[in-house]
């Protein structure tokens, strides 16, 4: 901005303190309005991300059963992440195991869940696990099931058909 000073033009030297304070106050108000929506968006994204990780492991277990032409277990892991928990709560993470006759199952994939705010519950299956046969079909989902991922008031649900197909979200 140019000022006229006794017939000469001078360049303005910057902002006044008042202009700077008003700008900072407006910026603070805008950030305050956006923050709650940002947190909600991040929670929704976290739920979608965890569900996609779970689905990826589900498909991995199915494809490994086909590749190995043998049984594969997809189960909720216990707190140490080395064994199946026997519950339908996948909130500690999950394992993909190759069933070897007469031996302990071999861990093919270990997926710990690092955010303890997220709940993942399997409805269907037996003892919180899905068993895939050598043809890639689940052996213990006679009527199908579902998986629900929840964080606060954000929830996504995917249905699992008795043939092993995922539908939804």
Domain of 69, CATH number, reads 3.55.40.10
Number of domains in the chain: 1
Please indicate, yes or no, if residue 151 is contained in any of the structural domains. Answer: yes
Contact 96, 68 (CB under 8 A): no
Nearest to 127 by CA among 154, 152, 90: 90
- 5 vs 74, which has greater pLDDT? 74
Residue 167 has pLDDT above 80, yes or no: yes
Q: Does residue 72 fall inside a structural domain?
A: yes
Region for residue 16 given its phi and psi (left: phi exceeds 0; alpha: psi -120 to 50; beta: otherwise): beta
Whether residue 141 has pLDDT greater than 80 = no
* Cα separation, 84 vs 95, whole angstroms: 7
| Chain center to CA of 134 | 28
Comparison of pLDDT for 38 and 45, the residue scoring more:
45
In this predicted model, what pLDDT tens digit does every residue of 84-107 receive, in sequence order? 888 888 899 999 999 888 888 899
- Which residues lie below 8 Å from residue 17, measured CB to CB, with a gap of 6+? none
**How much is the average pLDDT of 32-50?**
87
Is 130 a domain residue?
yes
Q: Between 71 and 143, name the one with better pLDDT.
A: 71
Q: Is residue 82 domain-resident? A: yes
What pLDDT shows up at residue 45? Answer: 93
Question: Does the pLDDT value for residue 8 go beyond 90?
Answer: no
Domain annotation covers residue 6: no
- Cα-trace Rg, the chain: 27
Quick one: which of 163, 39, 11, 9 has its CA closest to 1? 11
CA distance 72 to 66: 9
- Residue 138 maps to a domain: yes
Mean pLDDT, residues 80-87 taken together: 86
Residue 35 domain flag? yes
65-77 pLDDT, tens per residue?
999 999 999 999 9
CA dihedral sign, ordered 23, 24, 30, 33: negative
**Which helix (DSSP H) or strand (DSSP E) does residue 129 occupy?**
strand 129-132
pLDDT band at 30 (very low <50, low <70, confident <90, very high): confident
10, part of any domain: no
Contact between 54 and 120 under an 8 Å Cβ cutoff? The reply is yes
Nearest alpha carbon to residue 132 among 67, 56, 53: 67
Decide if pLDDT at 52 tops 60: yes
| pLDDT at 2 exceeding the cut of 60 | no
**Can you give the residue range of the structural domain that contains 78?**
16-167
């Amino acid at each position: 901005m140019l000022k006229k000073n006794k017939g000469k033009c001078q360049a303005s030297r910057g902002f006044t303190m008042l202009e700077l304070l008003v700008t900072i106050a407006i910026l603070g108000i805008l950030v305050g309005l956006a923050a709650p929506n940002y947190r909600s968006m991040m929670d929704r994204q976290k739920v979608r991300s965890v569900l996609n990780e779970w689905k990826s492991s589900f498909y991995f277990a199915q494809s490994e059963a086909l590749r190995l032409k043998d049984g594969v277990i997809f189960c909720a892991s216990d707190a140490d992440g080395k064994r199946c928990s026997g519950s339908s709560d996948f909130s500690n993470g999950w394992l993909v195991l190759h069933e070897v006759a007469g031996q302990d199952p071999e861990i093919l994939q270990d997926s710990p869940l690092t955010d303890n705010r997220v709940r993942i519950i399997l409805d269907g299956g037996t003892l919180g696990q899905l068993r895939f046969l050598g043809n890639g079909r689940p052996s213990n989902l006679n009527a199908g099931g579902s998986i629900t991922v929840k964080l606060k008031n954000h929830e996504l649900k995917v249905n699992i058909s008795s043939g092993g197909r995922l539908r939804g979200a």
